[in-house]
Amino acid sequence: MRTKLTTLGTILPAILILDLVTKRWALSALAGGNRIDLFGGVVPLTLAFNRGAAFGIRIGSDPRWFFIPIIVLALYLLIVLFIKARPSDHLRLVSLVLVMAGATGNLFDRVRWNAGVVDFIGPIDLGFMDWPIFNVADMAISCGAVALAVSFWLEERLVRESPTEVTEGGEMETESAP
């Protein structure tokens, strides 16, 4: 339990603080159409408000009240997964906390105003398309989701390759000989 609380207590506040501070900075430094180019213009910083889902996907004229309950439900499910995760599964713990922190950071924006989620990194020209504008919370969600998928894949591979069973609580149990 100590490992879980340490993971949660260090990563979650760090991501939330970084997300909130950078969004506040973006609101003041990039207001009025100001743009800052980093790395020779490769990474522009441009203020945008995303009222939709990932990558600017829109749902109706006021999606705020659609997304808030979905985010709350997702956070509940992530907490359940976190509680059930083995303390020794550091990849799963870190990935879940990253997604929880990012979702919470973007939830703050949706709750506090109707303008949408504050995004400011991008758009990044990939040569064949522009990568949408994003923020620190989005990075945490994306990295956490990829890491979580890897964690589930590794667990599935371990289950297939070893004569053990995974119990409901996520604990590994060695099969006993008859």
- What is the CB-side half-sphere exposure of residue 60 using CA atoms within 13 A? 6
125 is a catalytic site residue: no
DSSP string computed for 110-167: HHH-SS-EEEEE--EE-SSSEEPPB-HHHHHHHHHHHHHHHHHHHHHHHHHHSSEEE-
Q: Which residues contact 155 (CB under 8 A, 6 or more apart)?
A: 89, 92, 166
* Length of the chain (residues): 178
- Is 130 known to be catalytic? no
Return the sign of the alpha-carbon dihedral for residues 95, 56, 42, 120.
negative
Q: Which residues are catalytic?
A: 119, 138
